[in-house]
Chain A
Amino acid sequence: MLEKNNNRFANSDICIDVNDISVMFNLSKNREEGVKEYIINMLKGKVGYKEFWALRNISLQVKKGDSLALIGRNGSGKSTLLKTIAGIINPTRGTIKVNGTIAPLIEISGGFDRSLSARENIYLSGAMHGHTKKYMKKRFDEIVDFAEIEKFIDVPLKNYSSGMVSRLGFAVATCVNADIIIADEVLSVGDAKFRMKCEKRISEMLSGGTTILFVSHSTAQVKKICKKAIWLEKGKVLETGTAEEICDHYNQYIKSTPSKPRKLAVESGSESRLGRSKIER
């Protein structure tokens, strides 16, 4: 399903081609994890699942060197879309073609083992991207330097603060020479100074031809880093356009929705009406 390193693109500019994908999760009230429950449920005829479509009919194309932001509220499918592009989740329907290597940075610690030290994690992470230890040794100092964790290099990651982990994650992902970087909420936990450093690094990489997929809840940051944006809501694309435009619309929408506590009672009704009206527009 996911074609890597294949030159089968008529237009070689496009490095991510998402073609009408949908992702379904099974929401079963009682996930059978036991033989007994499974048999009981089977006898009752209750093994059926409640379907939940995390993504519905998403199509998008990203050109090489592009910077695309995904925005939307919690649970709108941003992370699922990124995971699908990264090849971690297979889409239920549709196809994805990716031209180039991906460094996914999903949920802060993209593939770190918390019981290992930073040093071991750097090699492990590098190996996950297909780099040998020899190659990683060459980049090691650069990574440690960027992450500013010299003092704690041999401390297990479980003792790190979330900011430190995210710094390390960002440093590794940007040092492994991937063609596409997926940054999911990585900059949100770093302090202001580190964020500036990251933004600088990202813009350097963009000018070097790296493609970036970016998720953030800070529209200011999105505007600064990305040229284009996609607004997801309930697993569907609500709007695509330039980052400026989409962020403004998104901000307006956020202000216009009633605050959370009151929403509970009228949740599905009011929201879906809003959603529909946006799609029609």
Chain B
Amino acid sequence: MKKGIYEFMNYFPFLKEIIKRDFKKKYYKSVLGVAWSMLSPLLMMIVITIVFSTLFRRTIPHYPAYWFSGNLIFCFVFDGSAAAMNSMIHNASLIKKMKIPNYFFCISAVTQHFITMMFSLIPYVAVSFVIGVPMNMHMLLLPVPIFMSYIFTLGLGMFLCAYGTFLRDLNYLYHVVRRVWIYITPIFYPIDIIPSEFRFLWDLNPVYVYINIFRDLAIKGTMPSEKMLIVGTCYSLLMLGLGAVTFKEKEERFFLYI
């Protein structure tokens, strides 16, 4: 444990550099650069609102903010974990030549998407201000669901990376999973359309739990239920534990496959 912390501190400057590098590479030669992480959800929001507002406007108050918040968390969890899955392959040139703890590349991949999410929060706040979502003190607790989803994404990313490094097909499969996942998560539709006897199934979806906590705080302006908070924390910690253990077990053989 002590050795692990020492190692982490020793390579901390590296983590900073590699995140910076990933960020720079992402917007390499694009004119608007980082503005895209604010623009693209905003444009998507406009489209989705036009398409679905007639369907759900009456049942969902502040529909644009509703969709935006759901999309924000979902995209972070999915894109972050997908990037972490490929992080070994993308950084093969470094991994093969330097001794760096492998999990740093997973952290870097997830953190990079975390930063993107932070940028996307700016238009989110602007939108909720414009459409008149009431501001309240509960918004100060928003880092809680965001932090939970970060831990979950890191765990999921490490878990996927442990297998995705050996089996590249997982990458394609995961994008199919994305389709299914985005539909079973109430991002653009209200949970009310699900019959109440089946609603417990939706609690099994960690992303929905985080989105729910986020929406409670940011749109409804209420404290999320304790059950939600406990379930969300458990999902995060269990996923991180599972991811870390699997990663540790498999990482010795990574260099043979990258």
Contact = CB atoms under 8 A, between A and B. Distances in A.
Interface of A: 2, 25-26, 31-36, 38, 83, 86-90, 102, 104, 106-107, 109-116, 120, 123-124, 126-128, 130-133
A34 B166 CA distance: 9
Given A87-B99, A113-B21, A130 B11 contact: yes
A241 B169 CA distance: 49
A110 B98 contact: yes
17 contacts: A25-B256, A26-B256, A31-B257, A34-B167, A34-B169, A35-B173, A86-B98, A88-B255, A90-B252, A106-B97, A111-B97, A113-B21, A127-B11, A127-B15, A127-B16, A130-B11, A133-B17
Contacts of B94: 111, 113, 128
Given A87-B99, A104-B98, A113 B256 contact: no
Given A26-B256, A31-B257, A130-B10, 6 more contacts: A88-B99, A102-B99, A106-B97, A113-B21, A124-B18, A127-B17
B99 A86 contact: yes
A127 B13 contact: yes
Contacts of B183: none
Interface in B131-176: 166-169, 173
Contacts of A109: 97
Contacts of B256: 25-26
Residue of B25, B166, B169 contacting most chain A CB atoms (<10 Å)? B169
Main SS at interface, chain A: loop
Counting from the closest, the 4 A-B pairs by CB-CB distance are A87-B99, A127-B14, A111-B98, A127-B17
Interface string B1-28: 0000000001101111110010011001
B97 A104 contact: yes
Contacts of A114: 93
B137 to A, nearest CB: 38
Contact of A115 (B18, B28, B166, B173): B28
Interface in B84-100: 93-100
Nearest to B94: A111
Contact of A133 (B13, B18, B167): B13
Contact of B169 (A25, A35, A102, A113): A35
B25 A115 contact: yes
A24 B153 CA distance: 34
Contact of B93 (A89, A113, A127): A113
Nearest to A134: B13
Q: How large is the interface on B (under 10, 10 to 19, 20 to 34, 35 or more residues)?
A: 20 to 34
B97 A120 contact: no
A113 B14 CA distance: 13
A34 B96 contact: no
Contacts of A86: 98-99
Interface in B171-198: 173
A116 B28 CA distance: 10
A174 to B, nearest CB: 16
Contacts of B11: 127-128, 130
Contacts of B252: 90
B97 A110 contact: yes
A120 B166 CA distance: 31
A124 B21 contact: yes
Contacts of A133: 13, 16-17
A12 B96 CA distance: 29
Given A130-B10, A130-B11, A133-B13, A33 B169 contact: yes
A197 B168 CA distance: 45
Given A33-B168, A34-B169, A131 B97 contact: no
Contact of A89 (B14, B166, B255): B255
A26 B169 CA distance: 20
Nearest to A112: B93
A131 B97 CA distance: 17
Interface in B1-58: 10-11, 13-18, 21, 24-25, 28
Contacts of A36: 169
Contacts of B169: 33-36
B248 to A, nearest CB: 13
B244 to A, nearest CB: 18
B126 to A, nearest CB: 33
Interface in B243-258: 252, 255-257
A130 B13 contact: yes
Contacts of B17: 123-124, 127, 133
A93 to B, nearest CB: 13
B112 to A, nearest CB: 15
Given A104-B98, A124-B21, A130 B14 contact: yes
Contact of A107 (B24, B97, B167): B97
Contacts of A112: 93
B48 to A, nearest CB: 34
A45 to B, nearest CB: 19
Contact of B99 (A33, A35, A104, A123): A104
